[in-house]
Amino acid sequence: MILTAISILVLVFFILLFGVVVLPAFFGSPWHPLLPATIRKILDFAQIQKGEKIYDLGSGDGRVLIQAARNYGASGVGLEIDPLKVWVARKLARLSGVDDRVQILRKNFNDFDFKDADVIYVYLTHQALDRLIPEILPYLKPSTRIVSYRFCLGNRQPSKVNDKQNLFMYRLDKGVNVDGYS
Ligand X SMILES: C[S@@+](CC[C@H](N)C(=O)[O-])C[C@H]1O[C@@H](n2cnc3c(N)ncnc32)[C@H](O)[C@@H]1O
Distance CA 160, CA 171 (A): 9
Is 148 a binder of ligand X (CB under 6 A)?
Answer: no
Torsion of CA 31, 56, 154, 132, to 10 degrees: 90
- What is the Cα–Cα distance from 48 to 68, expressed in whole angstroms? 7
Specify the stretch interacting with ligand X by CB under 6 A; choose among 51-59, 91-99, 136-144, 168-176: 51-59
- Can residue 79 be called a binding residue for ligand X (CB under 6 A)? yes
Rounded to whole angstroms, the Cα distance separating 123 from 59 reads: 9
- One of 29, 67, 75, 166 touching ligand X (CB under 6 A): 29
Among 68, 77, 81, 153, binds ligand X (CB under 6 A): 81
- Please, which residue, 145 or 157, has the CB nearer to ligand X? 145
Of residues 111 and 173, the one with the C-beta less far from ligand X: 111
Backbone angles phi, psi at 28, to 5 degrees: 180, -45
* Of the candidate residues 56, 69, 144, 145, the single one contacting ligand X (CB under 6 A): 56
Q: Which is nearer to ligand X, 31 or 181 (CB)?
A: 31
> Rounded to whole angstroms, how far apart are CA atoms 73 and 50?
4
Identified binder of ligand X from the candidate list 46, 60, 89, 146, rule CB under 6 A: 60
Interaction pattern, residues 102-141, with ligand X; x per rule: CB under 6 A:
------xxx------------xx-----------------
**Binding flag, residue 88, ligand X (CB under 6 A):** no
Distance (Å, whole) CA 18 – CA 41 = 29
Residues 6 or more apart from 19 whose CB is under 8 A from it?
82, 84
What is d(CA 160, CA 42) in angstroms, rounded to the nearest whole number?
A: 12
Give contact residues for ligand X (rule: CB under 6 A).
Answer: 24, 27-29, 31-32, 34, 56, 58-60, 64, 79-82, 85, 108-110, 123-124
